Amino acid sequence: MRTTDRITVKPSKGLRLPNLIELWEKRELMYFLMWRDVKLRYKQTVFGVLWAVLQPFVMMLVFSFFFGKMGRMPSDGIPYPVFCYTALVPWTFFSNGITQATSSLVFSSILIKKIYFPRIIIPLSSVMSGAVDFLFAFAVLIGMSAYYGIYPNWHSWMVPALFLLMLITAIGVGLWFSALNVLFRDVRYVIPMLTQVWMFSTPIIYPLKIIPGKWRVLMGLNPMASVVAGFRWGLLGTSPVPRTMLLLSLLSASAMVLSGLVVFGMMEKTFEDMV
């Protein structure tokens, strides 16, 4: 533990990353902000944490009716509702995560103007506070698969790894948009559109197989394509995600989070005045 700190305060110039060592020292704060977000989300609601499950579940019902039943969308031989819900559980975490992260800095303007702490904790904790919702929706997913007679297979170990891939992607996007939203409030209007477009470019209502062979791997540029296809692979036993596609997703997610860190680090100093 540090007893004395010696700090030099001076104008920063050029390329600058957020202080990640300090972030690690303040991890307790991250935990507390996540706890606050979770606590506040369901305060004074009747259904409480049920909402966490309801959101992907209702989407699943709608999609199952229109795309599964009426549209006769192929679903890798898996009953359409569970096929669709398996993808909606990670997708809900992702889209809620980036939506909340985007407005997180602006919502915390009083904190930013009055108290010093590593600013990066704000978007990070708002992405991660969705993990609790994810766990509840995931429990329902396991129950639902069992109902259809589908049980986790020995590829299920992939699922935690894919969750991490998704987390990195959401953090990368969240860093970009939260910082940009401080300067350009236009960003929050872009987010609903972006999540719509992104959802339909991810194999959620359709199987990955629908994409022609040579293009399928390129889908990996969207890390969420690998996450969703991987969840189905690990939990429903559909065909494996091509290794090159996974690698491409890993590279793409790393690029997002690294560039996000740089952008955040350089815009950070304008937050106090612009937020």
CA distance 126 to 247: 27
Decide if residue 45 touches other proteins (CB under 8 A): no
Residue span binding other proteins (CB under 8 A) among the ranges 1-9, 61-69, 149-157, 203-211: 1-9
Q: Is 269 in the site for other proteins (CB under 8 A)?
A: yes
- The residue from 17, 20, 24, 39 that contacts other proteins (CB under 8 A) is 39
Out of 23, 49, 61, 111, the only residue in the binding site for other proteins (CB under 8 A) is 111
For 13-64, give the DSSP string: -SS----HHHHHHTHHHHHHHHHHHHHHHTTT-SSTTHHHHHHHHHHHHHHI
CB of 40 to other proteins, least distance (A): 6
∠ CA 239-245-249 to the nearest 5 degrees?
Answer: 125
Do 197 and 191 contact (CB within 8 A), yes or no?
no
- Whichever of 250 and 262 has its CB closer to other proteins, that residue is 262
Q: Contacting other proteins (CB under 8 A), which of 36, 58, 157, 244?
A: 36
Tokens 């100093």 sit on residue? 269
Determine contact, residues 112/271, Cβ cutoff 8 Å: yes
DSSP 8-state class, residue 239:
P
Supply 121's token pair: 């904790």
Which residues inside 159-218 make contact with other proteins, applying CB under 8 A?
Answer: 183-184, 186
Nearest one of 275, 260, 273, 266 to 124, comparing CA atoms: 260
27 binds other proteins (CB under 8 A): no
* Closer to other proteins by Cβ: residue 61 or 190: 190
Q: Does 8 bind other proteins (CB under 8 A)?
A: yes
The smaller minimum CB distance to other proteins, of residues 92 and 102, is found at: 102
The pair of three-digit structure tokens given for residue 203, joined into one six-digit string? 């194999």
Binding site for other proteins (CB under 8 A): 2, 4-16, 28-29, 32-33, 36, 39-40, 43-44, 110-117, 183-184, 186, 262-263, 266-267, 269-270, 272-273
